[in-house]
Structure formats: C-alpha cells, structure tokens
Amino acid sequence: MPDIEWILLYIVLGALVGFMAGLLGLGGGGILVPLLTSIFTYQGISGDNAVHLALGTSLACMIISSTASIRAHAYQGAVVWQVVGGMAPGIILGGFLATQAAARVNSACIAIFFALFMAVVAGQMFLNWQPKPSSKPVSFRGLIVAGIGIGSVSALAAVGGGFLTVAYLGYKNVNIKRAIGTSAAIGFPIAITGTAGYMMSGWSITLSNPYTLGFIDVPAFLAISIASSISASYGARCSHGLPEAYLKKIFAVISLLLSIKMLVSFV
C-alpha cells in the first residue's frame, strides 16, 4: 500500500472536492485532475502515465458522486430520461474512442487541451454566459451527435460533461432545473465509459504497479470517493447561506490556476 501520508492526502483532496461539489453543484475534475497529476508525479510516476492515471482515477471517482447526484435529482423529478437515453449511446461511443486515443497521446497535448477547456469553463462562470435558445426541438440525431462530443471531451479532460450538457440543453429550451438534473444523470455513463476505457487502455502499461487497474489508482479512488461522499453533504448545507456567484468565480480561478500549473509542468 502507499505510505500513510499519501492516503491522508487523498482523503483531504476528496473532502475538498466533495465539499465544493456539494456547495456549488459542480464536479471537482478541474481541481482533482491537476492535483492528482502532481501527487502521482511526486510519487515517481512518469509524466505521461501520471496525467493518464489522474484522468482515469478522476472519472472513476465520478461514478460514486454521479450516483448520489442522480438519486437526488430523480427524487425531485428533474431528470428528462428520454434525453438521457438519447445521448447515452453517443456518450458511450465518444467516451470509449477518446480514452483509447488518449492513451496514445503525449501528456503535453492533453495538458494543453485540459488548460484550454478550463479557460472556457472559467470564462463562462465569470460572465454567466448562456447560449441563445434555438427554435429547433430536440431530435434523436442531435442527441446522438451531442453525446459523442460531450463524451469525447469529458473523457479527455475528466471534466466538462455537466458544463457542456447544461449549455446544450439550455440551447434546446430545456428548463434550467431539468437541464441540471439531466446533466447529473448523463454524468453516470460518462464516468462508467471513461473508467472502463482508461482501465483497458492502461492495463498493459501499469501491470508492474500492484495498486492500479489500468489507469485507475485504486487507493486514490477509494480514499477520494469515501471522503468526497461524506463532505458533499456538508457543502450542500452551506450552499444556502453563501453567495453562489462569487464562490463559482473563486472555484473557476482555482481550477484554472491548477490547470495552468499542470500545463507548465508538462509542456
């Protein structure tokens, strides 16, 4: 097993990510990926493998967080299951293909993509930008195409599924609360597909490490998932008494700075 100080660090990281997710209703990939990349690098894992391991482990952690989120939104009747069913095949296809491609891509390219995408997310949070609604209704073909795009981006960055899904559904005139609930449900196939893809693509590469399943670090996944599932409820309680707009900007700045740090480290 990894030294106890690394396990404690995973627990602290999981508690932070879970609290921020509960506080702001946002995923923690923007924080989790760059910090996990740094931790794995300090542990002596090579740069390319550190980035891929961080992406795969972050997506595995999303399985736990998205499950709890689905339950909460479904209870409120805020999930449009027809949209979830329409987008899921595209998400599975896009996510799986992207994870297989990512294993063959230099870590510097992934770091650049991650930093640029986080810059877009940060800009959207600062400006509170939303696309103008379209007059065209949601179509099955459109859901498949959108699913492929969202699944691919989410697999390459382990972040952004919720951001892109809410933006797309808002564009298609879906009520914001139902868009958020549906986005939470769509996070599950993104997490499952991404996890399976990174597990398969990294299986032969990480065979010498007994604590990994492909590009999934098992101790990190367990510690972060348990800690985040506990702290998320505390974040949700605090969300009602704090200015969400300012907190989102702070979250965006932190995520962007961490992604830039990752970019500088690997480019």
Two tokens, residue 223: 């510690």
Strands 212-213 and 216-217: antiparallel
pLDDT on residue 239: 60
Quickly count: other Cβ atoms within 10 Å of residue 177's Cβ.
Answer: 12
Q: Which domain holds residue 251?
A: 4-266
Quote the pTM value. 0.83
Cα–Cα–Cα angle for 67, 72, 78, nearest 5°? 110
pLDDT on residue 148: 93
Does residue 106 surpass a pLDDT of 70?
Answer: yes
Two tokens, residue 226: 């348990």
Q: How many CA atoms lie within 13 A of 42 on its CB side?
A: 12
Task: Report percent pLDDT > 90 for the chain.
Answer: 21
Q: 11 vs 76, which has greater pLDDT?
A: 11
Two tokens, residue 31: 């924080």
Quickly count: other Cβ atoms within 10 Å of residue 256's Cβ.
Answer: 21
Give dist(CA 3, CA 259) in Å, integer: 26
* Poorest-pLDDT segment among 15-24, 104-113, 201-210, 220-229: 15-24
The stretches of the chain forming alpha helices (DSSP H) are: 4-24, 29-42, 47-75, 81-102, 107-127, 140-157, 161-171, 176-201, 218-238, 244-266
Please name the residues in contact with 71: beta carbons below 8 A apart, sequence gap of 6 or more: none
pLDDT on residue 214: 92
Please name the residues in contact with 115: beta carbons below 8 A apart, sequence gap of 6 or more: 256, 259, 260, 262, 263
pLDDT on residue 215: 93
Give dist(CA 94, CA 206) in Å, integer: 24
Domain count, the chain: 1
Question: Mean pLDDT score of the chain, rounded to an integer?
Answer: 82
Does residue 224 surpass a pLDDT of 80?
Answer: yes
